[in-house]
Amino acid sequence: MSIMTRPAPILITNAKILTMDPANPRAEAMLLRDGRIATLGGYAEMEALKTADTRVIDAGGNTVLPGLSENHLHLFSGSAELDHLQLSGIHGFEALNGAIRDYAAAKPDEAVLFAQGADYTILGGGERITRHHLDRIVPDRPFAMFAHDHHTAWANTAALELTDLLHGRELGPGNAVVMGGDGLANGELREMEAFGPIQVAAGFDRYRLGLATGGEPDPYPSGADFEKDIAVMRRGLDYCARHGFTSLQCMDGNLYQLQLLAEIEKRDGFLPLRVRIPFHLKNFMPLSILDKASMMAKTYNSDFLSSGTVKMFYDGVLDSWTAIMVEPYANKPDSTGGDSLFTPDAMKAAAIEIDRRGLQIAVHAIGDGAVRAVLDGYEAARAANGARDSRHRVEHVEVVHPADIHRFGELGVIASMQPPHPPGAMGLPLEPTVSMIGRDRWPYAYAWRTLKDAGAHIPFASDWPVSPIDPMHGIQAAVTRRKWQESDPDQRFTLMEAIAAYTVEGAYAELAEDRKGILKEGYFADVTMLDGDIEASAPEEIHTIRPATVICGGRVTFGGR
pLDDT higher than 90, residue 203: no
d(CA 290, CA 353): 8
**Residue 349 within any structural domain of the chain:** no
Instruction: Indicate the range of 109-123, 297-311, 545-559 predicted with least confidence.
Output: 109-123
**Residue 250 within any structural domain of the chain:** no
Structural domain including 59 reads 10-67+521-559
**Residue 54 within any structural domain of the chain:** yes
Per-residue pLDDT of 431-444, as tens digits, reads 999 999 999 999 99
Same domain, 161 and 87: yes
Residue-averaged pLDDT of the chain? 96
Cβ atoms 151, 316 nearer than 8 A: yes
pLDDT higher than 60, residue 2: no
Beta strands at 29-33 and 10-13: parallel, antiparallel or unpaired? antiparallel
**Residue 480 within any structural domain of the chain:** no
What is the SS3 assignment for 128? Answer: coil
d(CA 112, CA 144): 8
d(CA 516, CA 539): 27
Same domain, 90 and 201: yes
Same domain, 199 and 126: yes
Question: Looking at residues 232-248, what average pLDDT do you find?
Answer: 98
Q: What counts of helices (H) and strands (E) characterise the chain?
A: 18, 25
**CATH number of the domain that residue 532 is part of:** 2.30.40.10
Sequence-distant contacts of 51-54: CB under 8 A, at least 24 apart: 51/9, 53/8, 53/9, 54/8, 54/9, 54/10, 54/11
Per-residue pLDDT of 290-329, as tens digits, reads 999 999 999 999 999 999 999 999 999 999 999 999 999 9
**Cα-Cα end-to-end distance for the chain:** 30
Per-residue pLDDT of 495-507, as tens digits, reads 999 999 999 999 9
Q: Distance of alpha carbon 50 from its chain centroid, rounded?
A: 39
Q: What residues are paired with 481 via a beta bridge?
A: none
CA angle 102, 107, 109 (to 5 degrees): 145
Domain boundary among 174, 192, 212: 212
**Residue 392 within any structural domain of the chain:** no
Buried b (16+ CB within 10 A) or exposed e, 8-33: ebbbbbbbbbbbbbeeeeebbbbbbb
Q: How many domains does the chain have?
A: 2
Per-residue pLDDT of 354-410, as tens digits, reads 999 999 999 999 999 999 999 999 999 999 999 999 999 999 999 999 999 999 999
pLDDT higher than 90, residue 426: no
Q: Quick one: which of 224, 173, 220, 219 has its CA closest to 194? A: 173
pLDDT higher than 50, residue 112: yes
Domain boundary among 185, 212, 239: 212
d(CA 25, CA 27): 7
**CATH number of the domain that residue 149 is part of:** 3.10.310.70
Same domain, 34 and 119: no
Q: Which residue has the higher pLDDT, 70 or 127?
A: 70
pLDDT bin (cut points 50, 70, 90) of residue 544 is very high
Same domain, 102 and 20: no
Same domain, 88 and 201: yes
Question: Looking at residues 78-102, what average pLDDT do you find?
Answer: 94
pLDDT higher than 60, residue 93: yes
pLDDT of residue 1: 45
pLDDT of residue 6: 82
Q: Count the neighbouring beta carbons within 10 Å of the beta carbon of residue 61.
A: 11
Q: What is the DSSP letter of 56?
A: E
pLDDT of residue 260: 98
pLDDT of residue 427: 80
pLDDT of residue 561: 61
Domain boundary among 143, 178, 212: 212
| Percent of the chain residues past pLDDT 70, beyond the cut | 99
Per-residue pLDDT of 339-356, as tens digits, reads 999 999 999 999 999 999
Structure pTM? 0.92
Question: Looking at residues 265-287, what average pLDDT do you find?
Answer: 97
pLDDT of residue 4: 59
pLDDT higher than 80, residue 185: yes
pLDDT of residue 240: 98
**Residue 124 within any structural domain of the chain:** yes
